[in-house]
Amino acid sequence: MRILVVEDEKALSELIADRLRREKYTVDVCNDGSEGLDYALSGMYDLLILDIMLPGTDGLTILKEVRNNRLDAKVIMLTAKTQLEDRLAGFSGGANDYVPKPFHIDELAARVNAFLRMDKAVRRQLSYGSLGLDYDTSSLLNTQSGESIRVNNKEFQLLEYLMNNPDRILSREMIYDRIWGLDSEAVSNNLEAYMSFVRKKLRLIDAGVSVRTVRNMGYRLEKD
């Protein structure tokens, strides 16, 4: 799962990012509100951690734009402001939680885990046709025959993204940004390699679903 931290205190933002990466999350960091807004509106993130007082664009404006664009990422507001009206503004704007500074980094990690594990509990398995992706076992399965095969972390993220967007063409850039991150230095053959692994595993369980390459456009998950 991918998290965006928008916090202008660089030392604090990196502390948060390092702690959440220890929880096996993919974390991107922005120290400017305007850049953070662009990242937040990409639709790549499962959870946003937003400071309110930011250079460029404030956290409440980012929150408002995220909700106006019907993005359902969980949002934790992180700020030194502790007045009741500030907390109410965040909650009424669509924030899921509010953590005033100073805070203990383990408490923030616990809140993040609670929200994202709640999401996983709601959807233990993704499905498309006879293809299933199980969150508990990190397995790909044929829901009709019961055949299954384990997938690694990057394969799981790739399959999750494809299965959440069935029959839609996803460009290489969209996939890179989602799976490896906007600032990743991953090279082009990384995607080709993982796509090859995924295709082999789809064939092994024979679920009647494949990943098609759409020339000069990207990839699409479709039923055979």
Which one of 77, 95, 121 terminates a domain?
121
Which one of 72, 104, 121 terminates a domain?
121
Q: Which residue, 164, 165, 161, 141, is CA-closest to 151?
A: 141
| Integer Cα distance of 45 and 27 in angstroms | 9
Are 142 and 201 members of one domain?
Answer: yes
Are 61 and 168 members of one domain?
Answer: no
For residue 22, what pLDDT is reported? 86
Q: How far apart are the first and last CA of the chain?
A: 28
For residue 176, what pLDDT is reported? 85
Are 106 and 141 members of one domain?
Answer: no
Are 62 and 88 members of one domain?
Answer: yes
Which one of 100, 121, 142 terminates a domain?
121
Q: Which long-range contacts (CB under 8 A, 24 or more apart) does 216-219 make?
A: 217/169, 217/171, 218/169, 218/170, 218/171, 218/172, 218/174, 218/175, 219/162, 219/169, 219/170, 219/172, 219/175, 219/195
Q: Which residue, 210, 181, 194, 173, is CA-closest to 1?
A: 181
Boundaries of domain holding 174:
125-223
Q: In a structure prediction context, what are the per-residue pLDDT tens digits for the chain, which is 224 residues long?
A: 789 999 999 999 999 999 998 887 889 999 999 999 999 988 778 899 999 999 999 999 999 999 998 888 999 998 876 666 777 777 888 899 999 888 999 999 999 988 887 655 445 678 999 999 987 788 999 999 989 999 988 899 899 899 988 889 999 888 887 887 765 565 567 888 999 999 999 999 998 999 999 998 999 999 98
Structure tokens at 192: 């080709």
CA atoms within 13 A on the CB side of 179: 26
| Integer Cα distance of 8 and 206 in angstroms | 49
The CATH number linked to 94 is 3.40.50.2300
| β-bridge pairing 2-6 and 125-128 | unpaired
Are 154 and 79 members of one domain?
Answer: no
- What is the torsion angle, in degrees rounded to the nearest 10, for the CA atoms of residue 145, residue 151, residue 154 and residue 157? 30
Are 199 and 139 members of one domain?
Answer: yes
Are 91 and 47 members of one domain?
Answer: yes
Task: Please count the structural domains in the chain.
Answer: 2
Q: Which residue, 148, 158, 163, is CA-closest to 193?
A: 158
Indicate the DSSP class of residue 170: B
Are 170 and 136 members of one domain?
Answer: yes
Are 32 and 108 members of one domain?
Answer: yes
For residue 71, what pLDDT is reported? 87
Are 40 and 117 members of one domain?
Answer: yes
Strand partners, 79: 100
The CATH number linked to 147 is 1.10.10.10
Are 66 and 133 members of one domain?
Answer: no
Three-class SS of residue 90?
helix
Are 97 and 180 members of one domain?
Answer: no
Structure tokens at 191: 């995607």
